[in-house]
């Protein structure tokens, strides 16, 4: 089996034992001549044999993995065919040995195990032996003069020997390469172990030396830390140390110095915190007391607002009812005005009718006057007639008397109608005045109605506003109650802070500081500024500076 990745030139010598192998297998000049004579038959049958072999390669996953694609297999097929041409040449010299050496090296490099190489030769030999037997079979004896069983066996023998020689050499190179790699790996391992042993010895010596140097530093650190644990912050490492430990010494001394300065600042801050916590506690007590007073006052205000809200609500209800009554009176006055207008119309109609009656009475008077004249004329004519006109004179007298009575009656009626007309005129004037009065009343009632509505609307708005104010005051009362509870919690927290500040101050006093630190610490806690008074009168608000002090 061959791979196209083979490369590199190798020095060829008889290290492979090529001559010894040829002698042992009896691949002498005669045998090599026989395989040279078989070359045409071998090269004719080899493509088909290799096709069969590479079909097996494709079908086997373990061998197919050595090739990237069919093109790769095609290249291997060509190189394998060329190598069989070298085998069939029978020139088992340095060129042949170099080719076999390259194949073995490549197989070792790519990890192609000998079992696949041997299996490949088995497939190829199977095809080649069949080809030789087919060519040398008795039916072809006429085509190959001198072909006998012995010559055929000799040909098969030399073919198998050449194949086994090639297989032996390639596998030997494969195994030698693996062994060389193993020896190289073993040598590298031994060299690495020796180097590690040397490094361990050097490291052990350096460790002993470092332990001695570290002991000095650790003892100084342990002593210093012990004094620090006891509260002494004036400790410093004064012993001489190796240069590589100098940074540890310097860092320790700097850290303790910084810690001393920090504790000095903490001591001053602890005193300030203690004073501040006392002021906060006092201020919290005052604030809690004022919060309780404000809560009580706000509760009384809330109750008073509830009473005012209820009163305004009742006033609003009364003004709404008054507005309804005024509106009803306005409607009644309006209806009365309409009645008066109708009465004025009726009076006018009566006055018109009286005028017409007066005219009719005038006509009746005229008729009575004319009748009286006619009766007078008839009486004169009856007197002229004498006895013949006596009866007619009586009738004329009666007619004249009747006309006179009609005229008197008409005169009386006219007088009555005239009086009635005057009275109707006076009634019309009075009714007109009444209508004007009712109109003014309606207008005044409308004004009163508008004012009452405005009063009712204002009362409703006041009631609603007072309701909102009452709700707001209730919420303020609730918030003030919550604030009072929070003030109580703040007071408790301030007293707790005061106790914690006292304990912290006592703990800080345990540390021993240097002279400079003590002077600084004394200045930090000296004469805290006097606390500002937070007292106020009643529920008055705190001033700005008092809040700042708080």
Instruction: Provide the pLDDT confidence category of residue 500 given band limits of 50, 70 and 90.
Output: confident
Q: Give the pLDDT of residue 524.
A: 43
Per-residue pLDDT, 531: 44
Per-residue model confidence (pLDDT) at position 138: 59
Site of tokens 């009738």: 395
Would you place residue 326 in the very low, low, confident or very high pLDDT band (cuts 50, 70, 90)?
confident
Q: What is the Cα–Cα distance from 419 to 397, expressed in whole angstroms?
A: 33
What whole-number percentage of the chain has pLDDT above 70? 88
Cβ neighbours of residue 283 closer than 8 Å, sequence gap 6 or more: 494, 534, 549, 550
Q: Between 71 and 209, name the one with better pLDDT.
A: 71
Answer whether 85's CB lies under 8 Å from 41's CB.
no
* pLDDT (tens digit per residue) in 415-457: 888 887 777 777 777 877 787 777 878 778 778 777 877 787 8
Residue 535: is its pLDDT beyond 60? Answer: no
What is the torsional sign of CA 99, 100, 101, 107?
positive
The mean pLDDT value for 324-328 works out to 79
Q: d(Cα 286, Cα 533) in Å, to the nearest integer?
A: 10
Any bridge partners for residue 232, and if so which?
512
- Average pLDDT score, the chain: 76
Higher pLDDT, 131 or 199: 199
Return the minimum-mean-pLDDT range out of 134-143, 191-200, 294-303: 134-143
Degrees to nearest 5, angle at CA 448 with 446 and 451: 110
pLDDT at position 550 is 28
Q: Which ranges of 143-242 would DSSP assign to H, the alpha helix?
A: 149-229
Summarised one tens digit per residue, pLDDT across range 231-289 is 787 888 888 877 877 888 788 888 888 877 887 787 777 777 778 777 887 887 787 78
Q: What is the structure's pLDDT at 283?
A: 82
Tell me the C-alpha distance between 231 and 512, whole Å: 6
Size (the chain), residues = 550
Confidence of residue 514 (pLDDT cuts 50, 70, 90): low
Query: How confident is the model over 180-192, as pLDDT tens digits?
Result: 888 888 888 898 8
Mean pLDDT, residues 341-348:
76
Q: Mean pLDDT over residues 157-178, rounded?
A: 81
485 vs 535, more confident: 485
If DSSP states are collapsed to H, E and C, what string results for 501-545? HHHHHHHHCCCECCHHHHHHHHHHHCCCCCCCCCCCCCCCCCCHH
Could you give all domains of the chain from N- to C-terminal order, each with its CATH number?
A: 14-198 (1.10.490.10), 251-513 (1.10.287.950)
For residue 539, pLDDT over 50 is answered with no
Q: Which residues pair with 512 in a beta bridge?
A: 232
**Measured between alpha carbons, how far is 539 from 533 in angstroms, rounded to an integer?**
16
Where residue 147 falls among pLDDT bands split at 50, 70, 90? Answer: low
Residue 426: in which H helix or E strand, if any? helix 390-508
pLDDT value of residue 172 = 80
- Better-scored residue on pLDDT, 147 or 207: 207
Indicate if the pLDDT at residue 211 is higher than 60: yes
């Amino acid at each position: 089996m061959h791979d196209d990745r083979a490369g590199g030139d190798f020095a060829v010598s008889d290290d492979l034992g090529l001559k010894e192998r040829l002698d042992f297998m009896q691949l002498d000049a005669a045998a090599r001549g026989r395989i040279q004579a078989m070359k045409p038959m071998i090269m004719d049958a080899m493509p088909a044999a290799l096709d069969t072999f590479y079909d097996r390669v494709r079908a086997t996953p373990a061998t197919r993995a050595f090739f990237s694609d069919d093109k790769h297999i095609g290249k291997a097929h060509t190189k394998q065919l060329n190598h069989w041409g070298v085998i069939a040449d029978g020139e088992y010299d340095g060129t042949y040995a170099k080719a076999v050496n390259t194949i073995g090296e490549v197989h070792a490099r790519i990890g192609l195990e000998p079992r696949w190489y041997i299996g490949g030769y088995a497939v190829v030999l199977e095809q080649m032996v069949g080809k030789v037997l087919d060519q040398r079979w008795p039916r072809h004896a006429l085509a190959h003069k001198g072909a006998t069983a012995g010559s055929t066996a000799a040909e098969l023998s030399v073919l198998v020997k050449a194949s086994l020689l090639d297989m032996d050499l390639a596998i030997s190179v494969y195994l030698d390469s693996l062994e060389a790699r193993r020896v190289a790996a073993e040598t590298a391992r031994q060299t690495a172990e020796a180097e590690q042993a040397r490094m361990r010895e050097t490291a052990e010596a350096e460790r002993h030396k470092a332990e001695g140097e570290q002991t000095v530093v650790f003892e100084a650190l342990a002593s210093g830390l012990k004094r620090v644990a006891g509260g002494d912050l004036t400790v410093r490492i004064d012993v001489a140390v190796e240069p590589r430990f100098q940074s540890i010494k310097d860092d320790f001394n700097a850290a303790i110095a910084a810690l001393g300065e920090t504790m000095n600042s903490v001591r001053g801050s602890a005193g300030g915190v203690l004073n501040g916590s006392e002021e906060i506690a006092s201020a919290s007590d005052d604030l809690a007391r004022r919060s309780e007073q404000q809560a009580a006052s706000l509760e009384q205000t809330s109750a008073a607002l509830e009473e005012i809200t209820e009163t305004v609500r009742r006033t609003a209800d009364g003004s709404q009812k008054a507005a309804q009554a005024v509106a009803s009176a306005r409607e009644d006055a309006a209806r009365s005005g309409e009645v008066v207008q109708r009465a004025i119309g009726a009076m006018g109609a009566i006055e018109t009718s009286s005028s017409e009656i007066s005219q009719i009475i005038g006509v009746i008077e005229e008729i009575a006057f004319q009748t009286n004249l006619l009766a007078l004329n008839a009486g004169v004519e009856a007197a002229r007639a004498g006895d013949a006109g006596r009866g007619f004179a009586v009738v004329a007298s009666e007619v004249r008397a009747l006309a006179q009575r009609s005229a008197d009656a008409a005169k009386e009626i006219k007088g009555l109608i005239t009086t009635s007309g005057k009275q109707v005129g006076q009634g019309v004037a009075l009714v007109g005045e009444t209508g004007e009065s009712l109109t003014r009343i309606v207008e005044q009632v409308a004004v009163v109605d508008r004012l009452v509505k405005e009063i009712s609307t204002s009362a409703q708005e006041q009631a609603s506003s007072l309701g909102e104010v009452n709700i707001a005051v209730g919420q303020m009362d609730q918030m003030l109650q919550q604030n009072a509870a929070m003030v109580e919690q703040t007071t408790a927290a301030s007293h707790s802070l005061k106790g914690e500040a006292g304990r912290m101050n006592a703990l800080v006093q345990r540390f021993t500081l240097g002279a400079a630190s003590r002077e600084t610490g004394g200045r930090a806690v000296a004469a805290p500024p006097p606390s500002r008074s937070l007292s106020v009168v009643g529920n008055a608000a705190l001033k700005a500076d008092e809040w700042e002090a708080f």
